[in-house]
Amino acid sequence: MNKKILILLLIFLSIFISACEVKKAPTNYHIGVNGIVLDKVSNNPDTVYEEETFALGIMLTNQGAEDVQNGILMVNFDDYFLELDSRQSSVSKIQQVSLEGKSVESPMGGADYLEYVFRAKTLGVIRESVNTKINFNICYRYSTDLTTEVCIDTRTRTTDQRNYACKGKEYTSNSGQGAPLAITKIESEMMRIGESVRPVFRIYIKNMHEGYTLNPVLDLCSNPTKNAKEINKLKVKAWISTDIALECNPEEVRLVEGETIARCYVKDTDLDDFSRDTVNYLTILRVLLEYDYVNSETFSLNIKRINEVDIKSPSVCGYYEIESQGKCVPLCEYCANNPTGAECTRNINASSKFSWSDASDFSCACSKEKCLALNKDGKCIFGYCPGNSYCCSSDECRDKTDGTQCGDNYVCLNNKCSKTTECDHKYGAQNYTCMNINSCANNTVLEGFCPGDENNVCCKRNK
């Protein structure tokens, strides 16, 4: 009897605990006001000398909810002062960009790093220095997608005494929908049309950034045009009750000073679905904005002339290299050994997770893909290695969890291959450790958990 009561009690407790578990709400990635964001890396130079070769790196991140396929990135500069070194630069003046948006599979969104190698040309004799600019423009197809509840208010008769499930209210938000264009407000109106009501929606749209839109119908990113009539245009679509397409008139609208209003309503052919004899009800409204978006980033550069006053000869070392002890070494390796050097500490963001004081084992050891994965945790940094290698920890545990096997049967701890053996890590609490097999107690030998030869095994000491 007691056993049956115990079983019933355990069943009750398991059901109670399951019912009390708080389920985590799914992450909403359709929030925010960013699309593709372009940033320069910390080590980009502000000043160079004539005839000097230098690199300029940029980081592209998709911080919105829409995937980007075949976006176009263009770099523009004054070719009287600069030229792109096609032999050393892995990218061209016009570059295709594809980046996934934020999602369950990619909660941070896609990222890419591009490195441009320039050479400063010789300045004229009358110039001591010149300021010039390097401009990056990116054009990409994007959309703003909003789904929200609306009330279909059929109470057009003043004598209607029926209880109603909802009241009409406007949608407002300044948080965005995971895109540079945001729907900030939706007003609804129910127009009486015979024995039906026609839901009408006024949709307020705002450009949340300094970029501009292009008419998506003409694919102007791939086919540039000077036609100003297509600038600041976008396409508006809307559906109600999941699959009833609304009439948006006009379908193409233009932003004026960054804002516009679109008007979408139920078509005549669908009015029978909105009878005045129906009790008020909630349904779904979906609004989709389609557009090409263009934003830019400009970097200023000062080019100095080599003269007798400001003595400086062109460096014999390449870009992202420095002369140390009579030879050229990558900045990455130099800074790993000289963490307080001027070339190492300049432009490092104080809020960054990266610090040279924690990077004594860094070297030019990572591919771009690996560095993109490690960069967000401060385990890799761009702009310190020439060529196609990037500055990261050379430790094999740089991206592994604690307890992962490394080296000769040691384990990773704090992203470094430690001197703790697998034996001590897994079985140390049971008084096992690595020793010569002749010193082991009977029936305690575990092989494959200790460094060295086959005689060094994991076991308990023979007393």
Whole-number Å distance between alpha carbons of 446 and 357: 39
Mean pLDDT of 281-291: 95
pLDDT tens-place string over residues 181-214: 999 999 999 999 989 999 999 999 999 998 999 9
pLDDT tens-place string over residues 91-119: 889 999 999 999 999 999 999 999 999 99
**What was the pLDDT predicted at 44?**
86
- The highest-confidence range among 6-10, 286-290, 319-323, 390-394, by mean pLDDT, is 286-290
Checking if the pLDDT of 27 tops 90, the result is no
pLDDT tens-place string over residues 39-69: 888 788 889 988 889 999 999 999 999 999 9
**What was the pLDDT predicted at 159?**
54
Looking at the fold, whether 147 and 289 belong to one and the same domain comes out as yes
Checking if the pLDDT of 222 tops 90, the result is no
Question: Range of 358's domain?
Answer: 322-394
Looking at the fold, whether 286 and 413 belong to one and the same domain comes out as no
Checking if the pLDDT of 20 tops 70, the result is no
Domain boundary (369, 394, 419) is at: 394
**What was the pLDDT predicted at 388?**
86
Least confident of 50-54, 262-266, 310-314, 394-398: 310-314
Tell me if 444 is assigned to some domain.
yes
pLDDT tens-place string over residues 420-448: 999 999 999 999 999 999 999 999 999 99
Checking if the pLDDT of 282 tops 70, the result is yes
**What was the pLDDT predicted at 160?**
56
Looking at the fold, whether 430 and 364 belong to one and the same domain comes out as no
Tell me if 80 is assigned to some domain.
no
**What was the pLDDT predicted at 395?**
83
Tell me if 426 is assigned to some domain.
yes
- Degrees to nearest 5, angle at CA 310 with 309 and 314: 130
Looking at the fold, whether 250 and 169 belong to one and the same domain comes out as yes
- The highest-confidence range among 148-162, 220-234, 239-253, by mean pLDDT, is 239-253
Tell me if 98 is assigned to some domain.
no
Tell me if 376 is assigned to some domain.
yes
**What was the pLDDT predicted at 62?**
97
Looking at the fold, whether 285 and 366 belong to one and the same domain comes out as no
Checking if the pLDDT of 237 tops 90, the result is yes
* More confidently predicted of 276 and 61: 61
Query: What are 199's two structure tokens?
Result: 């839901």
Domain boundary (339, 374, 394) is at: 394
Looking at the fold, whether 151 and 289 belong to one and the same domain comes out as yes
Tell me if 184 is assigned to some domain.
yes
**What was the pLDDT predicted at 123?**
86
**What was the pLDDT predicted at 325?**
86
Mean pLDDT of the residues in the chain: 87
Looking at the fold, whether 416 and 388 belong to one and the same domain comes out as no
Tell me if 113 is assigned to some domain.
no
Looking at the fold, whether 340 and 367 belong to one and the same domain comes out as yes
**What was the pLDDT predicted at 269?**
94
The span from the first CA to the last CA of the chain, in angstroms, equals 50
Checking if the pLDDT of 341 tops 90, the result is no
Looking at the fold, whether 356 and 425 belong to one and the same domain comes out as no
| Residues written for the chain | 463
Looking at the fold, whether 239 and 150 belong to one and the same domain comes out as yes
Looking at the fold, whether 283 and 147 belong to one and the same domain comes out as yes
pLDDT tens-place string over residues 112-140: 999 999 999 988 767 788 999 999 999 99
Checking if the pLDDT of 309 tops 60, the result is no
- Structural contact between residues 280 and 160, judged by C-beta atoms closer than 8 angstroms: no
Looking at the fold, whether 150 and 261 belong to one and the same domain comes out as yes
**What was the pLDDT predicted at 16?**
52
Whole-number Å distance between alpha carbons of 286 and 24: 25
**What was the pLDDT predicted at 15?**
56
Domain boundary (345, 365, 394) is at: 394
Q: How many domains does the chain have?
A: 3
Tell me if 196 is assigned to some domain.
yes
